[in-house]
Amino acid sequence: MNGEQLLDALEQVDEELLVEADRVRQRRKKARWPFIPLAACLCLVVAGAMIAQPWRSVPQSNSLPGKAESNQAETENGSVGVYVPPMEVPMEGDAQIEADLLSFFIYQGRLYVECSRAQNGAGLVGEKLGTSNGRIDEWTPDSGYVEGSGTAWGDFYAVNGYDPAHLLCMTWEDGTVALYWNNNDITVETAGDVLDEVFHMSGQVVKATMRGADVEDVAEISRLDDLNAWVEELCATPAQWDGDSPSEVLGYLYLENQDGVTVELALHEGGKAGIYGLGEVSFQLDWMPLTHWKA
Amino acid sequence: MEDKQIVELFWQRDPEAIAQSQGKYHSYLSKIAYNVLSDEEDSQEVVNDTYFRAWNSIPPQRPSRLSVYLGRLTRHGAIDRYRKRTSQKRQGDAYTLCLEELEACCGTAHDPQQILDAQQLAQAINQFLHTLKPQTRAMFLGRYYFFDSLKEVARYCGVSESKAKSTLYRVRKDLKEYLKQEGFDL
């Protein structure tokens, strides 16, 4: 059998199924993720130490009935995803806090956090969209979190070929392109919502490196066809919230596509994978086969 | 004018049947043809050919849903024209993409020894489609019957493009398993 025989056989699909499909095709849908104006209640996640900021709670209207405290959210089409709230941490300690602030800026009401860097990413830099004033630090009050502010200083740009609602970039003097991802106040249904829709990884990984818990235990993945099939499988895997029972990270996988965009995956015990920047969201998919595809 | 009335015009050999069909379904049929051919001129020729074929087949046919009947004729004509157009096939056009996606599901065998019962295959596919949820089925038919782009399928199903892509991937896998279980050689 071949694909053309399948396409031909579809010509005889039952009439009522075609009528039903056609009805769906005539629909007009609203945008999936409504634009939410940014209120002055965002938080920072810092490496090494924590600083308190007020946070925005999960909108009750999006929560499933009886699950007001969970991160499950119902999307517009009725399916269930995991809501990733604005990152928040409790106050810990007082003075002498050495804060290593994440690099981020605010644009059109969305908070974009640095997620990766491309060494030869000149081709990624698109239209200039704005400038971040770099004025936010650990002492900035709520009122300072406004449009055009951020910890990062400088012009930011669209990323050629990528949706600016998800991904923007900044450039450094040495030519490095830093990618900034709007990774919070979003709902994730499957890994594909991130790996494919944001980072264009599905079927497009050209380089992959695996690292164990030991930083020196690094190996490149040689079987890219198998890897791409695994990534595609991952893209179809539903998101789950691990906040209540976090699992140990046993290794890391770094994916790079043909544009030079990279994504870091955390490989957890129990056959789960997480995406760097998504917090406690994981995807249940056995990653052990990856260990056999190393060069 | 209702489909029933237009069909009656065909039966009465009244040329107004063509005008009415055109008025009601021309853009609908043009989209089906364009999705396959990506060429305005070719698409219009196929659609005009559809009215000619309808004129020659009604009667004896008496379709209850004219949109479906004309849509089938257009789809068939567009695919035929695409296959004959060997010099102008483009990588990345809708037909090629859909074909590649389905071939991942069933293979690319062109064994001249193998006689495939098209009726049996059509029946199996129909049975499989009836096992799907309506939205999933609309995604599958939108993509592989109507050749809508992934972006369009995602839009009218109210999901993200990646969700549409992953759903179609799962459906193709399930279809492959179903056809294997039904005894088809993949």
| Local structure of B137: helix, strand or coil | helix
- CATH number where B13 lies: 1.10.1740.10
Residues B48 and B104 in one domain: no
Q: Is residue B111 part of a domain?
A: yes
Residues B80 and B37 in one domain: yes
Q: Is residue B116 part of a domain?
A: yes
**A90-111 pLDDT, tens digit each:** 323 333 333 345 688 889 888 8
With pLDDT > 90 as the criterion, what percentage of chain B qualifies? 56
pLDDT at residue A274 above 70? yes
For chain A, what is the mean pLDDT? 74
Domain ends where: B34, B62, B85? B85
Residues B55 and B116 in one domain: no
Domain ends where: B51, B66, B85? B85
Domain ends where: B53, B85, B117? B85
Residues B104 and B47 in one domain: no
**Class of residue B137 by CB neighbours under 10 A (exposed 0-12, middle 13-18, buried 19+):** buried
Residues B72 and B108 in one domain: no
Residues B108 and B171 in one domain: yes
- B76 → closest Cβ in A11, A21, A195: A11
Residues B109 and B58 in one domain: no
**A139-160 pLDDT, tens digit each:** 556 666 677 787 788 889 999 9
Q: Give the Cα separation of A190 and A204 in Å (integer).
A: 18
CA distances (Å), origin B34, targets A136, B42, B51, B146: 52, 8, 16, 10
Cβ contact, residue pair B116, A195, below 8 Å:
no
Q: How many domains are contained in chain B?
A: 2
Q: Give the Cα separation of B103 and A174 in Å (integer).
A: 45
Size of interface A-B (CB pairs under 8 A): 158
ipTM confidence score: 0.91
Residues B45 and B99 in one domain: no
**Which residues in chain B (49-78) have CB-CB distances under 8 A to chain A?**
64-65, 67-68, 71-72, 75-76
How confident is the model at residue A261, as a pLDDT? 92
With pLDDT > 70 as the criterion, what percentage of chain B qualifies? 91
Residues B73 and B150 in one domain: no
Q: Give the Cα separation of B139 and B133 in Å (integer).
A: 10
What range defines the domain where residue B149 resides?
A: 94-181
How confident is the model at residue A18, as a pLDDT? 94
pLDDT at residue A32 above 80? no
**A188-233 pLDDT, tens digit each:** 889 999 999 999 998 899 999 998 866 567 889 999 989 999 999 9
Q: What is the pTM of this model?
A: 0.53
**B99-130 pLDDT, tens digit each:** 888 887 776 666 554 456 778 889 999 999 99
How confident is the model at residue A142, as a pLDDT? 60
- CATH number where B177 lies: 1.10.10.10
Cβ contact, residue pair B162, A24, below 8 Å:
no
